[in-house]
Chains A and B, each alone.
Chain A
Amino acid sequence: MRITVGKGSCGIAAGADAVFDTLKGKAPCPVAVTGCIGTCHLEPIVSVDDGETLQTYVKVDEKGAGEIVKMLNGEENRAADYRRDLDCGSNRIALRNCGIINPESIDEYIAKDGYEAVKKCFSMSPEQVIEEIKISGLRGRGGAGFPTWFKWRAARDSAGDKKYVICNADEGDPGAFMDRAIIEGDPHAVIEGMIAAAFAIGADEGIVYVRAEYPLAIVRLGKALEQARKKGFLGENPFGSDFSFDISVKAGAGAFVCGEETALIASLEGERGMPRLKPPFPAQKGYRKKPSNINNVETYANVPWIIRNGGKAFASIGTEDSKGSKVFALTGKIANGGLAEVPMGCTVRDVVYKFGGGVRGGKELKAVQLGGPSGGCIPKGLTDVEIDYKSLAATGAIMGSGGMVVMDEDTCMVDMARFFLDFTCKESCGKCTHCRIGNKRMLEILERICGGGGKNGDIELLTELGEEIKAGSLCALGQTAPNPVLTTIRYFRNEYEEHINEKRCAARQCKPLLAYSVDKEKCMGCAVCARKCPGGAIAGTVRSAHSIDAEKCVKCGNCADVCKFGAINVK
C-alpha cells in the first residue's frame, strides 16, 4: 500500500502541500510525492496503490485527505466523492514517468528501467547512438524542430577535446509548461538523455540552463544530479566505461530571448543575453567557443526511451514528416487545462476536445494559438489540421514548443495579437533594428487600432512591417514575432476592419471601442447599476428608466454585470 500526492508546481498551487501533510501524519502507509500527471485542472491529485489496483482522487482538499485516511482505516468515508479515473493518454514517452514515480527517488526511476539506456549506450559506439537517433526521426521539441541527430553529428564532427552538452530549460512561452513538468516530475529522464548525448558527441561537461522562476524544478534537478553522482552514473567512468561526464545547473534570470541558443550561450558565459549571428553554429563554436550541443528538455527526455526501445519504435509513431509524440500545454479558455502528450498526426481538434474537454463554459471555439508569441493562430475551421511540423507551418502557425492557447468567441483577435506582440516587444533583446523598432511600431499601431484610432492603410502597414521584420531579424524571436499579427490578419481580417472602419470590437474586449447604454424598455429603474457605477455616469429616478452619460462612462462593465434585467446594451 502506498499513497502518492501530485506535488508539481500545479499541485502545490492547488493546495497539495496541505493534503500531503494531512496524509503524511495520519495515513497508515507510506506517503510519497510525485510530479504532474498532466491533468493540472484536477489537482491536487492523490493516488492510492494497494499493490493490485491504482485509484486516483482528484481536487483533493484537506477534508478530502481526511476522507481518504478514513477509507484507509476502514472507517465510514466519503472518499468516493473524489474518485475519478484519469485518462492521461497511453504510450506516453516524454511524460512516461510524470505523475507516476517519485521524482526525488532515483530508485523509482531505476525501477522503471531508468539508466538502462545509458548502460546500453556504453555497449554501442557513439556513431551507433547517433544513428539510432537518426532512425527515430526525433526533431527538436523546443520550437524549431531541427533534426536532433544532425546537431549531434555536427558536434561530434567538430574538432576539439572539450565539448559541452547543454539542456535548454528556459521555457518562456506564455502558457507553456511542458519542460517544467518534465523536470519536476522526471528529472532523471533529462539527465539520462544528456548523458547519452554527451557520450554521442564526446562531451565531458553538461549544463542545464533553467529559468530561475522554476525553483521546484531547480531543487529536484539538483537532488537528482546528486543521486546520479552517488550511483556513479555521473562523474568518472560510469558503468565501467572510459567515459566521464558531469552536469551543473545554471539558473537564468528570466529573459525570453535566452531560450534562443546563441543568446543562451552568451548568458551562460555571463554576457548580455543577445543572439549572435550563425554560423558559426554552437555545434562548431558554442559555449566558451567550444563545440556544444543544445537540446530542449523534452528532446532529452525522449532520448532514453528511444535508446531502450530502438529508433524504429519511435519512428513507428507519428506521420511521415514528424515522428513520435509531442507534449502540449493546454491553456486559455479550455475546460480542462493541463498537459497532453499526443502522437504526432492527431489533430488540433482532438487535443482540444479529447484531452481538453472542449471550450470552458460551453462556449464556441474561435481559434487556437500554437507556438506562443512566436506562433500563429489556427481558426476553428482549420483545427482538423494534423499535428505535424509541415502541416502546421502551412497554416501560418508553428509546432513551437507546445503551448496551445485556446480562444473562445469572447476573444478579440486584434487584442490577442496585441497581447502577444506586447510580450515579444518586452522580450526583444534590442539588437536588431527590425525587431527592436519594427515590433514596437507594430505594437503602437495595434494599440491605436484597439484604442479606436485605427486608420485606413493600417492593415497594409502591419502586413508590410511584419514581412520585413521576419526577413530582417537575426534570431527566431524577431523572425517569428509578427506571426500572431500576420495570422490573425490572414484569418480574422474582418475583425481588424471592424475595429478600424466601424470602431467596433465584436468580442467586446477593446474598451475604448465599447459604448454602454440602457435599454429603456427593459430597465426597471432598480438603480443597482447607478450605485455600482464608479464614475457616477448613470442617472435616473427609481422605477423609471435610467441613462448612461457616455462622457463619464469609464467602460468598466459593472452595470452590465449587475443588471438583472439585461437592460444594459454594450456595443
Chain B
Amino acid sequence: MEKIKLTVNGKEITADGGKSILEIARGADIEIPALCHDGRTEVYGSCGLCAVEIEGVSRLFRACSTYAADGMVIKTDTERVRKNRKVALELLLSDHTGDCKPPCSLACPAGTDCQGYARLIADGDYRGAWDLIREKIPFPASIGRVCPRPCEEACRRQLAEEPMAIADLKKFAGDYFGAASPPPKKASPPTGKKAAVIGGGPGGLSAAYYLRLKGHDVTVFDMMPEAGGMLRYGIPEYRLPKDILRRETDLIVQAGVNIKTGVKVGRDVTLGELRGQYDAVIVAVGAWNSTGLRCPGEGLGGVIGGIDFLRGVAENRPVSIGAKIAVIGGGNTAMDACRTAKRLGAKEVCVVYRRTRGEMPAEELEIAEAEEEGINFRYLAAPVEVIGENGKAKAIRLQIMELGEPDKSGRRAPVPIPGKEEILPIDTVISAIGQKPDLSGFEEIEKTGRGTVFADERTFATNLTGVFAVGDATNKGADIAVSAIGEGGKCAEIADAFLSGGDVFLKTPYLVKSEKTAADFADVAKRPRVKPKYRPAAQRARDFKEINETVSEEEARKEAARCLECGCGDYYGCKLIKYAGEYEVRPERFGGTARRHKVPEDDHPEIIRNPEKCILCGLCVRICDEVEGISALGFCGRGFDTVVKPAFDKRLRDTECNSCGKCAEACPTGAIMAKSALFNGQSAQHDL
C-alpha cells in the first residue's frame, strides 16, 4: 500500500493511501465525531457531524467519505467546523424526544439513579443496587429512612396511581446486607495530596468519601464525639437507629478516610493551621444553632432551641421538659422535636404553627405520624411573648392569624387578626423555627447576608484559595440531608480537579426532557404502592425504637417492578447526548415541531424501538442489509417525515429478522434497543 503524508490539526501523519480522513484521523487518536459511520457498512454520510476543513478549499468535507491525499492539510476542529456540527446536533435534538434521565433522578439533589437501582432490585441484584446507590449516596440505609423523597414527588408512576416507594427501596438495599456489608469501593492509587474536611455530617462525610476514592489522603475533623452530624445528633433514634448510621460511617472509615472527632476548629485547631497542613480544605460544618423566637421572654428558662433539644437527647444528656410542651414551627425539626418530647414522657405536646397544615414545610408523612402519635397542632398562631415566672417560662401568648395574599414562596401569608390572642400554658417551649451555622473560627471566610458561608454555586469555592464549602453552612442555609450529600459528592469532583492542578466547574448538561400527563399512562395496569409495616402509634410513641419495618425482599422486588423506567435505557451509551454535551447545544432556539410516533414500538420479543428518538442515521437499516443480508427494516416516507420501520407496516417479528441484535448495538441513540440490555449494566454506570 502506498504511503501518504498529511497534516491533521498541525500534526504530521503518515498513513496508508486509499483511506478516508476519518479513518486516518481516528488511527492517529484525533477524534472526529460521527453518528452514522460504522466500519462494517458502506459510508453513508447522513449525520453531517464529521465535517472537516481542507486547506485551500472553501467548502466543508465529510471526513467519512473524503479520501486523504498526499500533502493534504486538514483541520478537524476549527470554529467553522464546530459551528456546522453544533447546528447539526441542535437540529437532530430538535427532533429527538423522550427523557434522557428519569424525573426521579433529576429531582434528587444527589442525582441518584433511582430507576437504575429499582431495576436492579427488581432483578434481584441487591449488591448491584447497593453499589449503584453508593455511587451517589454513601448512606443508603440512613437516607432511605430520613429522606423527604423529592424523587417520589417527581415520580411519574403517580400519574398512573401512586408514586414509587423509592426511599423504601433505598432503605431495603441499604439494610439487605446488614452488618455483613460488602467492602467499600477500592480507592485509586495514592495521589500524595492531603485534604481536610471540617464537619463529619452527611455533606462532609460524602465529600471525604468520594475524595478518598480518588486516591487522596482525607481527614475529617468533627467537633462531636462521633461522626454523623445532624443524622446522628438531629434525627431522633426512632427514625434513624444510630447503629445503622454507624454501620455506614464505618464504611467510610474502611474506605480509608481518617475521622478525628472532638476537634473543633477555632477551639482546638485554626483554619489557618489546617490550610497550612492540607492541600485543600472543605468546610461542611452544618447549621447547629437554633434561631431564637424573636419575642419577649425568649431568654427565659424552659425555652430551648429545637436543635439543642434533639442534640441533648441524642447525647443522652438528662433533659427535663415537664408535662406541657409547645413546639414552635412547622418544619421537620419541629416534627422531630414534638415526637421526641412525647417519647420523653410529656403529657401534652402542641405544635404551634402560624399557617395551616397545608402550608407546613414538614413532610406530609411525618405530620401524619405525629398526629397518630397524639401530638396536638395549633394552626394560625404565632408566639408574641413567652410569659415567665421566677425566670422560668410558664405560658406563651399567641397572636391568632388568618391567611392573606400569597407571598414570595407562593404560600398564603399569615396575617395577624388584630386583638385576637390566646394564652397557652406550658412547661417548656421548643423553638424549631430555623437554624443557622456557628461560624466562629471561620472569620476569614466571606459570608452571605444570611450569615452563611459564601460558596460559589459552580465550584463551591470560598474566598480563600483551596477552601471549599458545602451543605447547611453555606449560601441559602439548612436544607435536607441528601442536598448536602449531593453537594459533597460534586465538591469532591471539584476539589479533586483542584488537587490535580485542573480547573473544573459544575455544568448543567443538556438533557432531553419531556412532559407527560395521566393520559400517557392510562393503559398502565394499576398496582398499589408498597406500605412498610408500622408499629402501633400508641406503642411507638412510648419508646425510641424504629417506628416502621424495612420492606421484605418480596415486597421490594414487587415495588421495584412498578417502575415505569422513564429514563432512556441508552443514556450512558448515547453518542448523541455525549456530543450534545461536548458542543454545548441549544436546540430550543430553532423551535419547531418534532415527529410523533407510537412509542415504544414493541413488536418483537427481543427488540424494542422508539422512532421518536431515531436520528435517521440508517445504521440499523444498513447493518441489517449489508452485514446480515436481511432487510427487516427500511426507510418509509420522505423528508422530515421519514421513519425507519419494516416494509408494509409489518410487525418486526413478522419480518425476516433473525434477532441478531446488531441494529440495537449499532444504534447511536436509544431508538432501537435489545430488551435484554435495557437497564442491566448500562444504566448502572456512574455519570459524575
A interface residue numbers (CB < 8 A to B): 255, 272, 274, 276-277, 279, 425-434, 436-438, 440-441, 444-445, 448, 461, 464-465, 468, 471-474
Question: Is B60 close to A, CB under 8 A?
Answer: yes
Given contacts A431-B46, A431-B616, A472-B51, contact A438 B639 (CB under 8 A): no
Q: Separation in Å of the A256 CB from the closest CB of chain B? A: 10
Q: Separation in Å of the B342 CB from the closest CB of chain A? A: 60
CA distance A428 to B591 in the complex (A): 20
Given contacts A272-B634, A425-B640, A428-B639, contact A433 B43 (CB under 8 A): no
Chain A residues with Cβ below 8 Å from B47 are: 433
Choose, from B80-88, B375-383, B537-545, the stretch at the interface.
B80-88
Chain B residues with Cβ below 8 Å from A431 are: 46, 616, 618
CA distance A58 to B91 in the complex (A): 53
Question: Is B65 close to A, CB under 8 A?
Answer: yes
CA distance A276 to B46 in the complex (A): 9
Question: Is B505 close to A, CB under 8 A?
Answer: no
Pairwise interchain contact A472-B640, C-beta atoms closer than 8 A: no
Chain A residues with Cβ below 8 Å from B615 are: 433
Pairwise interchain contact B87-A428, C-beta atoms closer than 8 A: no
Pairwise interchain contact A464-B638, C-beta atoms closer than 8 A: no
Given contacts A433-B46, A464-B87, A468-B83, contact A444 B591 (CB under 8 A): yes
Pairwise interchain contact B48-A472, C-beta atoms closer than 8 A: yes
Q: Which single residue of chain B is at the shortest CB-CB distance from A474?
A: B45
Q: Separation in Å of the B64 CB from the closest CB of chain A? A: 8
CA distance A277 to B67 in the complex (A): 12
- Binary flags per residue of B37-61, CB closer than 8 Å to A gives 1, else 0: 0000001111111010000000110
Contact of B60 among A255, A461, A472 (CB under 8 A): A472
Given contacts A444-B593, A468-B87, contact A428 B616 (CB under 8 A): no
Pairwise interchain contact B92-A433, C-beta atoms closer than 8 A: yes
CA distance A276 to B592 in the complex (A): 28
Q: Separation in Å of the B25 CB from the closest CB of chain A? A: 17
A–B pairs, 7, beta carbons within 8 Å? A272-B634, A433-B48, A433-B92, A433-B615, A436-B616, A445-B591, A472-B84
- Binary flags per residue of B59-98, CB closer than 8 Å to A gives 1, else 0: 1101011010000000000000001100110011011000
Chain B residues with Cβ below 8 Å from A432 are: 45-46, 48
CA distance A274 to B590 in the complex (A): 26
Question: Is B406 close to A, CB under 8 A?
Answer: no
CA distance A474 to B95 in the complex (A): 20
CA distance A159 to B593 in the complex (A): 49
Given contacts A432-B46, A433-B48, contact A461 B59 (CB under 8 A): no
- Binary flags per residue of B181-210, CB closer than 8 Å to A gives 1, else 0: 000000000000000000000000000000
Pairwise interchain contact B94-A277, C-beta atoms closer than 8 A: no
Chain B residues with Cβ below 8 Å from A471 are: 51, 59-60, 84
- Binary flags per residue of B216-250, CB closer than 8 Å to A gives 1, else 0: 00000000000000000000000000000000000
Question: Is B554 close to A, CB under 8 A?
Answer: no
CA distance A142 to B669 in the complex (A): 39
- The 4 A-B residue pairs whose C-beta atoms are closest, nearest first, are A430-B642, A428-B639, A437-B91, A277-B65
Question: Is B637 close to A, CB under 8 A?
Answer: yes
Chain A residues with Cβ below 8 Å from B43 are: 277
Chain A residues with Cβ below 8 Å from B46 are: 431-433, 474
B interface residue numbers (CB < 8 A to A): 43-49, 51, 59-60, 62, 64-65, 67, 83-84, 87-88, 91-92, 94-95, 589-593, 615-616, 618, 634-635, 637-642
Pairwise interchain contact B62-A430, C-beta atoms closer than 8 A: no
CA distance A472 to B618 in the complex (A): 17
CA distance A445 to B589 in the complex (A): 11
Pairwise interchain contact B642-A434, C-beta atoms closer than 8 A: no
Q: Separation in Å of the B428 CB from the closest CB of chain A? A: 62
Pairwise interchain contact B87-A440, C-beta atoms closer than 8 A: no
Given contacts A272-B634, A430-B616, A433-B615, contact A440 B88 (CB under 8 A): no
CA distance A426 to B592 in the complex (A): 16
Q: Which single residue of chain A is at the shortest CB-CB distance from B43?
A: A277
**Chain A interface helix/strand/loop/mixed:** helix
CA distance A461 to B87 in the complex (A): 11
Q: Separation in Å of the B121 CB from the closest CB of chain A? A: 39
Chain B residues with Cβ below 8 Å from A436 are: 616, 639-640, 642
Pairwise interchain contact A441-B91, C-beta atoms closer than 8 A: yes
Chain A residues with Cβ below 8 Å from B91 are: 433-434, 437-438, 441
Q: Separation in Å of the B590 CB from the closest CB of chain A? A: 4
In addition to A425-B639, A428-B638, A432-B45, 12 A-B residue pairs with Cβ atoms within 8 Å of each other are A426-B639, A427-B638, A430-B637, A433-B46, A436-B616, A436-B639, A441-B592, A461-B589, A468-B87, A468-B88, A472-B51, A472-B60
Q: Which single residue of chain A is at the shortest CB-CB distance from B46?
A: A431
Pairwise interchain contact A429-B51, C-beta atoms closer than 8 A: no
CA distance A425 to B590 in the complex (A): 16
CA distance A448 to B593 in the complex (A): 12
Pairwise interchain contact A461-B638, C-beta atoms closer than 8 A: no
CA distance A431 to B621 in the complex (A): 12
Q: Which single residue of chain A is at the shortest CB-CB distance from B621?
A: A272
Q: Separation in Å of the A84 CB from the closest CB of chain B? A: 44
Most buried by A among B46, B591, B637: B46
Pairwise interchain contact A434-B45, C-beta atoms closer than 8 A: no
Q: Separation in Å of the B588 CB from the closest CB of chain A? A: 12
Q: Which single residue of chain B is at the shortest CB-CB distance from A479?
A: B59
CA distance A276 to B42 in the complex (A): 10
Given contacts A465-B590, A472-B48, contact A429 B92 (CB under 8 A): no
Q: Separation in Å of the A280 CB from the closest CB of chain B? A: 10
Chain B residues with Cβ below 8 Å from A464 are: 87
Pairwise interchain contact A440-B83, C-beta atoms closer than 8 A: no
Chain B residues with Cβ below 8 Å from A473 are: 48
Chain A residues with Cβ below 8 Å from B64 are: 277
Pairwise interchain contact A277-B51, C-beta atoms closer than 8 A: no
CA distance A378 to B462 in the complex (A): 61
Q: Separation in Å of the B262 CB from the closest CB of chain A? A: 61
Q: Separation in Å of the B92 CB from the closest CB of chain A? A: 6
Q: Which single residue of chain A is at the shortest CB-CB distance from B62?
A: A277
Pairwise interchain contact A277-B44, C-beta atoms closer than 8 A: yes
Q: Which single residue of chain B is at the shortest CB-CB distance from A425?
A: B639
Contact of B87 among A276, A430, A465 (CB under 8 A): A465
Chain B residues with Cβ below 8 Å from A276 are: 44-45
CA distance A274 to B589 in the complex (A): 29
Pairwise interchain contact A468-B84, C-beta atoms closer than 8 A: yes
CA distance A371 to B615 in the complex (A): 31
Chain B residues with Cβ below 8 Å from A474 are: 45-46, 62
Q: Separation in Å of the B61 CB from the closest CB of chain A? A: 10
Pairwise interchain contact B592-A430, C-beta atoms closer than 8 A: no
CA distance A445 to B641 in the complex (A): 18
Pairwise interchain contact B640-A437, C-beta atoms closer than 8 A: yes
Given contacts A441-B91, A464-B87, A472-B87, contact A429 B639 (CB under 8 A): yes
Chain A residues with Cβ below 8 Å from B60 are: 471-472
Chain A residues with Cβ below 8 Å from B637 are: 430
Q: Which single residue of chain A is at the shortest CB-CB distance from B47?
A: A433
Chain A residues with Cβ below 8 Å from B84 are: 468, 471-472
Chain A residues with Cβ below 8 Å from B51 are: 471-472
Chain A residues with Cβ below 8 Å from B593 are: 444
Chain B residues with Cβ below 8 Å from A437 are: 91-92, 94-95, 640
Q: Separation in Å of the B16 CB from the closest CB of chain A? A: 18
Q: Which single residue of chain A is at the shortest CB-CB distance from B91?
A: A437
Pairwise interchain contact B65-A434, C-beta atoms closer than 8 A: no
Pairwise interchain contact B87-A444, C-beta atoms closer than 8 A: no
Chain A residues with Cβ below 8 Å from B642 are: 429-430, 436
